[in-house]
A and B are shown apart, each in its own frame.
Chain A
Amino acid sequence: MAELNFKKGLKDGVPIALGYLSVSFTFGITAVNMGIPPITAILISLTNVTSAGQVAGIGIIAAHGGFAEMALAQLIINMRYALMSLSLSQKLDDKYGLLHRITTAFCVTDEVFAVASGKSGEIPAKYMYGLITLPYLFWSGGTAVGAFLGSILPDMIKSALGIAIYGMFIAIFIPPSKKSRGVTCVVVMAAALSWFIYYLPALDFISSGISIIICTVIAAALGALLFPRREEEADSE
């Protein structure tokens, strides 16, 4: 098996980076469509490196939401990273010191986590630096291209590209829904709640960020209560 060095990390990062390019491109377009300045959109991608949290974030900014709402929304939406970081922390090698942990932490995305945790044996810091380099550059670069090029694209193209990021979300939550009744119910509950909050006039005071938090906490908690996973399911993560 190839040594887990910087170069191997770079190579493993290529497919992740290519996937990020299209999503970050549409994130840039979506952000500018919502009235976010291109520079702000790029700054968000440079400092956050996460799709769902960023989309929710620009929604809150566009609606002029409060900072507490923003912090709470990011906390709930990105809570899964705590679990991934926790899991990853058990896999790092002895020389992977505190400084390296602090510097590589900002780029623990779903895909980076998936690739890193799929490696057998312990992970050295140099491999991690290699793995996150291209995804990070493509994530930020794609956002810049989308944010600046978005304004010169014809209206019909912009309109069509607006759905891309939701297409990606759909491609993430539908396949596991086929295999797990728990996931199906969580998805249906969250979607239904979100729908009600959006359309019931009495609930108009609930902003988009708060709505995502409410839907997520209720649906995921009900899922954990009603559809606890068996030990072997949980272990195969």
Chain B
Amino acid sequence: MSDALYLFISVAVMALVTYLIRMLPLAAFRKKIKNKFVLDFLYYVPYAVLAAMTIPAVFYSSNSILSAAAGFLVAAVLAFFERGLLTVAVCACGGVFLTELVMRLF
């Protein structure tokens, strides 16, 4: 398979699955989910997804594990104090940048 075809099919699969998940309940279902376990499971899914995607990938998101760990620490502390998404993201970048700047000096 050519690279272009692989890319195209991959994107088509992504888009179709994501769209159907959103569209089918909106278009077809009118009844509410009653099953308590399913509701609780769905409630926890976003947090599990984001944690699994962040750890350990975040430590490989910059040029060095050290600077990425510093950025992660900045993000974790700011998020703990409930700063907004944008603030946390920008400050994490700042943490990485400053750490790499300091690393260059030594």
Contacts and interface: CB of A to CB of B under 8 A. Distances in A.
Given A19-B85, A82-B21, A174-B79, A74 B14 contact: yes
Given A26-B89, A199-B56, 17 more contacts: A44-B14, A53-B14, A54-B14, A55-B53, A67-B13, A74-B21, A86-B29, A86-B32, A98-B27, A101-B26, A162-B61, A166-B57, A167-B85, A193-B52, A211-B52, A216-B45, A220-B48
Given A22-B90, A105-B27, A220 B45 contact: yes
Q: How large is the interface on B (under 10, 10 to 19, 20 to 34, 35 or more residues)?
A: 35 or more
A167 B57 CA distance: 12
26 contacts: A40-B7, A61-B6, A71-B17, A79-B42, A80-B42, A81-B18, A84-B22, A85-B24, A106-B18, A163-B58, A166-B72, A167-B91, A168-B85, A168-B89, A169-B54, A171-B85, A173-B47, A177-B47, A190-B52, A191-B55, A195-B56, A216-B52, A220-B47, A224-B44, A227-B40, A228-B37
Interface string B82-103: 1111111111111111001100
A199 to B, nearest CB: 7
B105 interface: no
Contacts of B68: 163
A60 B10 CA distance: 9
Q: How large is the interface on A (under 10, 10 to 19, 20 to 34, 35 or more residues)?
A: 35 or more
A195 B62 CA distance: 18
Contacts of B50: 52, 169-170, 172-173
A131 interface: no
Given A79-B42, A80-B46, A90-B32, A166 B54 contact: yes
Consensus secondary structure, chain A interface: helix
Interface of B: 6-7, 9-11, 13-15, 17-19, 21-27, 29-30, 32-33, 36-37, 39-58, 61-63, 67-68, 71-72, 75-76, 78-80, 82-97, 100-101
B59 to A, nearest CB: 9
A112 B29 CA distance: 20
Contacts of B37: 224-225, 228
A151 interface: no
Contacts of B94: 160
Contacts of A55: 53
B52 A106 contact: no
Contacts of B54: 166, 169-170, 173, 191
A48 B53 contact: no
Interface string A184-211: 0011111111110011000000001001
Nearest to B94: A160
Consensus secondary structure, chain B interface: helix
Given A89-B30, A234-B43, A175 B79 contact: yes
Contacts of A178: 80, 82
A73 to B, nearest CB: 9
A78 B20 CA distance: 10
Interface in A80-108: 80-90, 98, 101-102, 104-106, 108
Q: Which of A19, A106, A190 has the most CB of B within 10 A?
A: A190
Given A108-B26, A190-B52, A191-B52, A163 B61 contact: yes
